[in-house]
Amino acid sequence: MALEKIKTGVEGLDAMLNGGLIKGRSYTVVGGPGTGKTILSMHFLMEGAKNGEEGLFLALEESAMEIKENMALFGWDLRRIKIVDTTQDLSGKWSIKVDSAIAGPELTLNNILATLRDYINKYNVRRVVIDSLTSFKTMQKTGIDYRRGLLTLLKFLSTEGCTSILTIEDSDKEALMEEFLSSGVIQLDFVEHSGEWLNSIRIKKMRGSSYDQHTRPLKITNKGITIFSNESLFR
Amino acid sequence: MALEKIKTGVEGLDAMLNGGLIKGRSYTVVGGPGTGKTILSMHFLMEGAKNGEEGLFLALEESAMEIKENMALFGWDLRRIKIVDTTQDLSGKWSIKVDSAIAGPELTLNNILATLRDYINKYNVRRVVIDSLTSFKTMQKTGIDYRRGLLTLLKFLSTEGCTSILTIEDSDKEALMEEFLSSGVIQLDFVEHSGEWLNSIRIKKMRGSSYDQHTRPLKITNKGITIFSNESLFR
Amino acid sequence: MALEKIKTGVEGLDAMLNGGLIKGRSYTVVGGPGTGKTILSMHFLMEGAKNGEEGLFLALEESAMEIKENMALFGWDLRRIKIVDTTQDLSGKWSIKVDSAIAGPELTLNNILATLRDYINKYNVRRVVIDSLTSFKTMQKTGIDYRRGLLTLLKFLSTEGCTSILTIEDSDKEALMEEFLSSGVIQLDFVEHSGEWLNSIRIKKMRGSSYDQHTRPLKITNKGITIFSNESLFR
Amino acid sequence: MALEKIKTGVEGLDAMLNGGLIKGRSYTVVGGPGTGKTILSMHFLMEGAKNGEEGLFLALEESAMEIKENMALFGWDLRRIKIVDTTQDLSGKWSIKVDSAIAGPELTLNNILATLRDYINKYNVRRVVIDSLTSFKTMQKTGIDYRRGLLTLLKFLSTEGCTSILTIEDSDKEALMEEFLSSGVIQLDFVEHSGEWLNSIRIKKMRGSSYDQHTRPLKITNKGITIFSNESLFR
Amino acid sequence: MALEKIKTGVEGLDAMLNGGLIKGRSYTVVGGPGTGKTILSMHFLMEGAKNGEEGLFLALEESAMEIKENMALFGWDLRRIKIVDTTQDLSGKWSIKVDSAIAGPELTLNNILATLRDYINKYNVRRVVIDSLTSFKTMQKTGIDYRRGLLTLLKFLSTEGCTSILTIEDSDKEALMEEFLSSGVIQLDFVEHSGEWLNSIRIKKMRGSSYDQHTRPLKITNKGITIFSNESLFR
Amino acid sequence: MALEKIKTGVEGLDAMLNGGLIKGRSYTVVGGPGTGKTILSMHFLMEGAKNGEEGLFLALEESAMEIKENMALFGWDLRRIKIVDTTQDLSGKWSIKVDSAIAGPELTLNNILATLRDYINKYNVRRVVIDSLTSFKTMQKTGIDYRRGLLTLLKFLSTEGCTSILTIEDSDKEALMEEFLSSGVIQLDFVEHSGEWLNSIRIKKMRGSSYDQHTRPLKITNKGITIFSNESLFR
């Protein structure tokens, strides 16, 4: 009995994943600055949108406006993607910007879960992106609070039946707690080659599925991300 | 006088161990994300089940449902394996899910020991897996509390006469406290070879037995884990 | 729809950036001592001044006098650049030196924002440099306070529509929080070659634009910074 | 005037030590998991037992039962070796198990010293093993408490005239405080060679004696430890 | 408009600096033990003395006596150099030794500034050496206190119009806070070459001036420091 | 004017030092376990004794008895060397063992200074060894307390006119605070060569004197330490 998979929308990546991500699970995409985490996540939502599925992008760092501007580079129509971003009022308090309203619930774990629940129910959201977990992490007081909050978030997404990508800001090679707790890990990176910094992708973990264990070259072009799933890249 | 051994169910590993694990002892399986800790542990329980032995899998990170889905990939019938997982109620409190009941005892060391004792007695459990110790570790307030809790857990498993595998999430090469305190250590890892990340296995320690001191290649196929105990793998 | 770009004034860098920086966004320039962060930032303001745009340089470490002296080396006329520096009174308290007045508002995040707002409105400032964020960081009590302060600052600059360069003092290769939160990252560095330390530049990240992914040689001459955007430099 | 030496019972090691350990002193054996610390220590007690000397093994981590089982592999008769282990009562408190009695004095430094004194006097113990110091270390509140406790323990063993081996769990290459405070240091390790992990031994320090400064191969066979004191092993 | 420069008195270094240090600014000389920081600093004061300029050496670690003894090796007449050192009274309190008086103001930042001011005014001091900043750093309670104290000190020296060298004890290669805050950085080091440790010098940063970016060999002879500014030295 | 030097008694070392150590100053000898710190220090006292000078060895780690036993290996007559060691009473308190009396002043910085003063005056001690500073360090509450205590100790030794060697337990390559504060640093180490660990010596710093900047081989034989000051040793 094979588990049902859904496509990420990045052709080479779906090949590496033997068909895509397992439906209803949460995955982490880890990478340093400029490695393509946000673009990869948006590909994943665009693929759903192409098939009429609603997607939700929880933007904890960039504004919805900036994300839209950046994605315009790839000629994408993001109208079916709900982008929820955050805002700060004059007193310095951050809140969640619901339906483009200026004021919204304060930015806490409980309000994030409530907002996600509202959107998921209202729009029948099937694909969720949280960009980034690192931002979510700084809301927690201690490392243990974060682990608990993360488990709560993962349990919530699982209960709602969403397939999710959670990005993590990290350029270190050591494995992170999030990588152990999620169903799979995609690592984005740079490899220096004769003075040029080439983008790369590697699947580090994928529960319940076989997958390609090579580090592959990745290019960001005006069509988004292309992965050369037949070429190798040495670190 | 040779000590009685039981098979892990992974053919190549039993060869490396000169017959298997010593009955009644606790072992640690250490590895980074995606190295096969859970699959190896389940092999160990499946081997017992094949011989009519009851096995208990204490799932502190994944849900029982996800574990069953993931293992389905290998065509395994997990009905004889008791999988105890954990759940979170609406107030955010985690508890142990006993016999699939929704509510259960709060997730503490004492309740874990009580639950293990109940299952061991009721079903005459002979093989136990705790996946993972890292999760157990975060329940303890300090490093010393953890060492004490771990010694209590190991003493308990020893008194009950169970043979146990405790997984540890770690991708670092430094030796861990758990490795010193358990009867043996199996290290799972990745080795990069021309851009491909190959799985590997090494036995670091095995009290009371001789064992194969090579790093060996490991493959995860649709039959589970296969170990090439006659091939070498350089790091 | 391509985003509107503005030139940095360093010819080779504008080539690497495919035209320049995206208007209205904030960028970080990271580098160790002596790598050229201040000179690069001043090029950026001089380019605006050349076209009649007002520029603001918030000097948190050097005095306005020293900056003017250092830039004199390149024959630049800084009269159109507003340089706001800081001063310390006899009691040891630091304050912002507004319009060359000796006393000014105390050096706090809120006063920095207020001062920036005043200048931006009064002179219609379009380009802002903050030199350095590291200095700003030491005003915050904890790492989380700093992250929050930085997000507030970035939000402010974005709302005001300014294009900004924020410098960061760092010679480590690990990615920094600031690199994830800003729209792009330019890394300045040294590369040792046969006992000589050559300056280098690399674009690590540039949201919403393609860019040159090579490490390129950089020279500081009596004309300012020159980048050899067709030459490679191995680390 | 040469100092009186006693054999360790490992032939190759006695050759490396130019006759053995200096009588009445304390030595540390440092190594990672699986390097043979316990087996080497037991060799040392067995050598005394062969000559009618009583030996004491203070087991702070394994149970006496497990140690006996593990050593059975080498066909050793441990009846002359007193093994003192520790136990935990239902309330979770650890105590020293004196003469196999279930209850005993609580596990504290003072009680350890008292127990050692009792055994040493009652059985005229001449050789002592403490396995491991790392366990002893976790009983102390701070690093300074540990240093003081260790100095007290070393002073005590010296006053009693015992020759002692204290094991330390460590796989790091940095020198430890214990290595400076004891009369000699034997380092056990693994060396990777074409994918195989070979055991090795090196004498790092030996006050009052010359010694072999090579790293030598070590094998654990069904006779215990064999050292190839004429072969070299590169790290 | 070129900035006015003053010679350091080390011929090869003045060549590397294209004439010397910029008048009225503060520089850091960073290096491990034995790299020549004190000798280089004294060269700088001797050069001023040669031209009738008064120099002040604030000795926070060695006694004035020891400094004079050590410099005697080079045949220098230090009579025109004011050396202010520190002393400790019977109660253990450290104070600044003004004009060779035994008692003096307590060793605090404010008293250091007052003492510097007195000397500068009284003797019209133009060149100042503080040996070392590391000692100054230990007077501050926290890292932030130190940064503030250092900024105060740098501001003071700048206001007084002195050209200053501040030494820093460090053998690490990471850039230090002091290097970012001062106008230039000279790094002294050792390079191992076939078992010999050769002294080296490198200019890491020099605001407002071009400079030689090579690592150059440095020798300490009975004439003081000689720099081979035409020879290269690989690390 | 050359400073007066005294011999260390190790022929090859005196050659490396161009005659010996400068009279009246304090030096540090740094090294890992087994590198020969104590033997080198005793050579230094023996050299004084040979010429009728009294020497004092403050033994903060080994007992006087053990030191005498260890040095017997070299056939040395230590009768002219005063060895002051420490002892612990039944309540666990450490004290200084004056003139072999069992009880003595408590082990504190002030009592150490008083004891040193008594011995120096009574026996006209000219050479002092403190073995080790690391032990002295653990008596201080914080790092700053230690730096202050160390400065007090160095000032005291300087005032008394003693030439001193202070040993430091360290196997790390980073420079230590003690190395910056003392007049010279001798580094003892091991170098691995084809599986053999060879002893080595290097002078890292020597104020007021030129010295040999090579790493040289060192051997410990039955005559004590021999240094091959014409041979090189690569690390």
pLDDT band for position B66 (50/70/90)?
A: very high
Q: Residue D161: how many CB atoms within 10 A of its CB? A: 12
pLDDT in tens, C44-96: 999 999 999 999 999 998 999 999 999 988 999 898 899 999 988 777 788 89
Tally Cβ neighbours within 10 Å of residue F211.
18
CB-based contacts of D124, cutoff 8 Å, min separation 6: D54
d(CA A85, CA D115): 66
Tell me the mean pLDDT in the region B44-55. Answer: 95
**Is the Cβ–Cβ distance between D49 and D38 less than 8 Å?**
no
Chain A residue numbers with beta carbons less than 8 Å from the beta carbon of C144 are 138
DSSP A173-192: SS--HHHHHSSEEEEEEEEE
Q: What rounded mean pLDDT belongs to chain D?
A: 92
Query: D185 and F34: CB-CB below 8 Å?
Result: yes
- Chain A neighbours (≥3 Cβ pairs under 8 A) are B, C
Pairing of strands A196-206, A184-193: antiparallel
Count of Cβ atoms closer than 10 Å to residue D5 Cβ: 17
Query: Would you call A196 and C185 a contact, using CB atoms and an 8 Å cutoff?
Result: no
Q: Does E213 touch chain C (CB under 8 A)?
A: yes
Provide mean pLDDT across the span E190-208.
95
DSSP-based three-state secondary structure for D41:
helix
CB burial class (10 A; 0-12, 13-18, 19+) of residue E155? middle
Angle between helices C143-159 and C109-123 (to 10 degrees): 10
pLDDT in tens, D116-127: 999 999 999 999
Report how far residue B124's alpha carbon sits from residue B127's, in angstroms, rounded to the nearest whole number: 9
E37 touches chain C (CB under 8 A): no
pTM for this structure? Answer: 0.94
pLDDT number for residue A141: 81
Is a pLDDT exceeding 70 seen at residue D105? yes
Q: Whole-angstrom Cα distance, residue C145 to residue C167?
A: 19
Contacts of C14 (CB under 8 A, 6+ apart): C7, C8, C20
The contacts of residue C39 (CB under 8 Å, 6+ apart) are C71, C74, C220, C224, C225
On whether the CB atoms of residues B66 and B83 are closer than 8 A, the answer is no
> Could you tell me which of B199, F136, B206 has the C-alpha nearest to residue A206?
B199
Q: B177 to chain D: which residues are within 8 Å by CB?
A: 169
3-state secondary structure of F18: coil
Q: Is residue A1 predicted with pLDDT exceeding 60?
A: no
Would you place residue E118 in the very low, low, confident or very high pLDDT band (cuts 50, 70, 90)?
A: very high
Q: Is the dihedral of CA F118, F122, F128, F131 positive or negative?
A: negative
Closest of C156, C154, C188 to residue C170, by C-alpha: C188
- Please state the rounded mean pLDDT for residues E178-196: 94
The CA distance from C6 to C23, in Å, is: 6
Q: Do chains A and B touch (3 or more CB pairs under 8 A)?
A: yes
Of B72, B88, B195, the CB nearest to A155: B88
- Give the tokens for residue A6: 């859904």
Q: Is the peptide bond before E229 cis (omega within 30 degrees of 0)?
A: no
pLDDT cut 90: percent of chain F above it = 72
Cα–Cα distance measured from residue A22 to residue A36, given in angstroms and rounded to the nearest whole number: 22
Whether residues A196 and C232 touch (CB distance < 8 A) is answered with yes
Q: Is the pLDDT of residue E114 over 70?
A: yes
Q: Identify which has the larger pLDDT, E78 or D233.
A: E78
Residue C18's pLDDT is 96
Q: How far is the C-alpha of B214 from the C-alpha of B15, rounded, in Å?
A: 12
pLDDT at B41: 98
In 3D space, the residue among A67, A104, A61 whose CA is nearest the CA of residue A83 turns out to be: A67
Chain B: nearest CA to A132, how far in angstroms? Answer: 20
Orientation of helix A109-123 relative to helix A143-160, angle to 10°: 10
Q: Which residues contact E145 (CB under 8 A, 6 or more apart)?
A: none
What is the rounded average pLDDT of the residues D35-64? 96
Task: Tell if the CB–CB gap between A204 and B34 is shorter than 8 Å.
Answer: yes
pLDDT digits (tens, 9 = 90+) for B144-202: 888 889 999 999 999 999 999 999 998 777 888 999 999 999 999 999 998 999 999 99
- Please state, rounded to an integer, the average pLDDT across all residues of chain A: 92
* pLDDT value of residue E202: 97
Six-digit token string for D130: 């403490």
Decide: A67 and C186 in contact? Cβ < 8 Å: no
- Interface test with chain E among F207, F218, F231, by most E beta carbons within 10 Å: F207
Is the CB of D195 inside 8 Å of chain B's CB atoms? yes
pLDDT band at residue D144, thresholds of 50, 70 and 90?
A: confident
pLDDT in tens, C125-149: 999 999 999 988 888 888 888 888 9
CA distance F135 to F167: 10
Q: What residues in E contact C88, CB-CB < 8 Å? A: 151-152, 155
Burial of C183 (0-12, 13-18, 19+ CB in 10 A): buried
Question: Does the interface predicted TM-score (ipTM) exceed 0.90?
Answer: yes
Q: Give B-chain residues touching D38 at CB under 8 angstroms.
A: 207
Chains that touch C (3 or more CB pairs under 8 A): A, E
The answer to whether E156 touches E192, Cβ cutoff 8 Å, is: no
When CB atoms are compared, the residue of A174, A207, A213 closest to B196 is: A213
Contacts of E72 (CB under 8 A, 6+ apart): F1, F3, F208
Give the HSE-up count for residue E120: Cα atoms under 13 Å, Cβ half-sphere: 20
In the predicted model, is pLDDT for residue D208 greater than 60? yes
The rounded mean pLDDT for chain F is: 92
Say what the pLDDT of residue B102 is: 60
Read off the pLDDT band of F217 (50, 70, 90): very high
Residue F208, chain D, CB below 8 Å: the answer is: no
Model pLDDT for residues F55-110, shown as the tens digit of each residue: 999 999 899 999 999 998 899 989 889 999 998 887 778 889 876 666 689 988 88
How buried is residue A160: exposed, middle or buried, by Cβ count under 10 Å (0-12/13-18/19+)? Answer: middle
pLDDT digits (tens, 9 = 90+) for A211-231: 999 999 999 999 999 999 998
Q: Give residue-wise pLDDT tens across range D52-93.
A: 999 999 999 899 999 999 998 899 989 889 999 998 887 778
Element (H, E) at F159: helix F143-160
| pLDDT of amino acid E87 | 85
**End-to-end CA gap in chain B:** 36
Helix, strand, coil: what percent of chain D each, to 5? 35, 30, 35
Q: Which two tokens stand for residue F117?
A: 């003063």
C117 touches chain A (CB under 8 A): no
Burial class of residue A77 in the structure, from the number of CB atoms within 10 Å of its CB (0-12 exposed, 13-18 middle, 19+ buried) = exposed
Q: Which of D33, D72, D196 shows the shortest C-beta gap to B205? A: D33
Instruction: Please tell me if residue A148 touches chain B, with a CB cutoff of 8 Å.
Output: yes
The per-residue pLDDT for D100 is 60
CA nearest to E204, candidates F174, C36, C225: C36
Shortest Cα distance, chain B CAs vs residue A192, angstroms:
14
Q: Which helix (H) or strand (E) holds D175?
A: none
What pLDDT does residue F89 have?
80
Instruction: Give the whole-number percent of chain A exceeding pLDDT 70.
Output: 97
Percent of chain E at pLDDT above 70? 97
Q: For C93-123, how does the pLDDT look when each residue is reduced to its tens digit (9 = 90+)? A: 888 987 666 668 898 888 999 999 999 999 9
Residue B179 Cα, gap to closest chain D Cα (Å)? 6
Contact D151 F196 (CB under 8 A): no
Q: Which residues contact D115 (CB under 8 A, 6 or more apart)?
A: D58, D84, D96, D98, D104, D105
Range scoring the smallest mean pLDDT among B70-74, C22-26, D26-30: B70-74
Q: How confident is the model at residue F138 (pLDDT cuts 50, 70, 90)?
A: confident
User: Minimal Cα–Cα distance from A203 to chain B, Å?
Assistant: 9
Q: Please, which chains are in contact with D (at least 3 CB pairs closer than 8 A)?
A: B, F
Predicted local confidence at residue B232, as pLDDT: 83
* CA atoms within 13 A of residue F157's CA, in its CB half-sphere: 24
Q: Which residues of B53-65 are buried (b: 16+ CB within 10 A; e: fewer)?
A: bbbbbbbbbbbbe
Q: What is the pLDDT averaged over residues B24-28?
A: 97
* Per-residue burial over A165-197, b = 16 or more CB atoms within 10 Å of its CB, e = otherwise: bbbbbbbeeebbbbbbbbbbbbbbbbeeeebeb
Contact of chains F and E by CB distance (3 or more pairs under 8 angstroms): yes
A208 vs chain B: nearest CA distance in angstroms?
A: 4
The C-alpha atoms of residue A25 and residue A127 are separated, in whole angstroms, by 10
Contact F161, F24 (CB under 8 A): yes
**pLDDT above 70 for F235:** no
- Give whichever of A95-99, B138-142, C191-195, C213-217 has the largest mean pLDDT: C213-217
pLDDT in tens, E139-177: 888 888 888 899 999 999 999 999 999 999 987 778 889
Residues of chain B with pLDDT > 70, as a percent, come to: 97
Residue B1: per-residue pLDDT: 53
3-state secondary structure string across chain B? CCCCEECCCCHHHHHHCCCCEECCCEEEEEECCCCCHHHHHHHHHHHHHHCCCEEEEEECCCCHHHHHHHHHCCCCCCCCEEEEEEEECCCCCEEEEHHHCCCCCECCHHHHHHHHHHHHHHHCEEEEEEECHHHHHCCCCCHHHHHHHHHHHHHHHHHHCCEEEEEEECCCCCCCHHHHHCCEEEEEEEEEECCEEEEEEEEEEECCCCCCCECEEEEEECCEEEECCCCCCCC
Interface of D with B in 76-115 (CB under 8 A): 88, 92, 94
> Looking at residue C103, what is its pLDDT?
65
Edge-to-edge strands of the sheet including E125-131?
Answer: E94-97, E81-88, E54-59, E125-131, E163-169, E26-31, E184-193, E196-206, E216-221, E224-227
Return the closest-CA partner of residue E160 out of E119, E191, E189. Answer: E119
Contacts of F132 in chain D (CB under 8 A): 180
F and C adjacent (3 or more CB pairs under 8 angstroms): no
Decide if C133 contacts C139 (C-beta within 8 A): no
Facing residues of F200 across strands?
A: F189, F217
Q: Determine which of A180, A183, A191, A218 to mutate to test the interface with B (most B C-beta atoms within 10 Å).
A: A180
Interatomic CA distance for residues B23 and C37, integer angstroms:
65
- The answer to whether the Cβ–Cβ distance between B179 and D73 falls below 8 Å is no
Q: How high is the mean pLDDT of chain C?
A: 92
Q: What is the pLDDT of residue B141?
A: 81
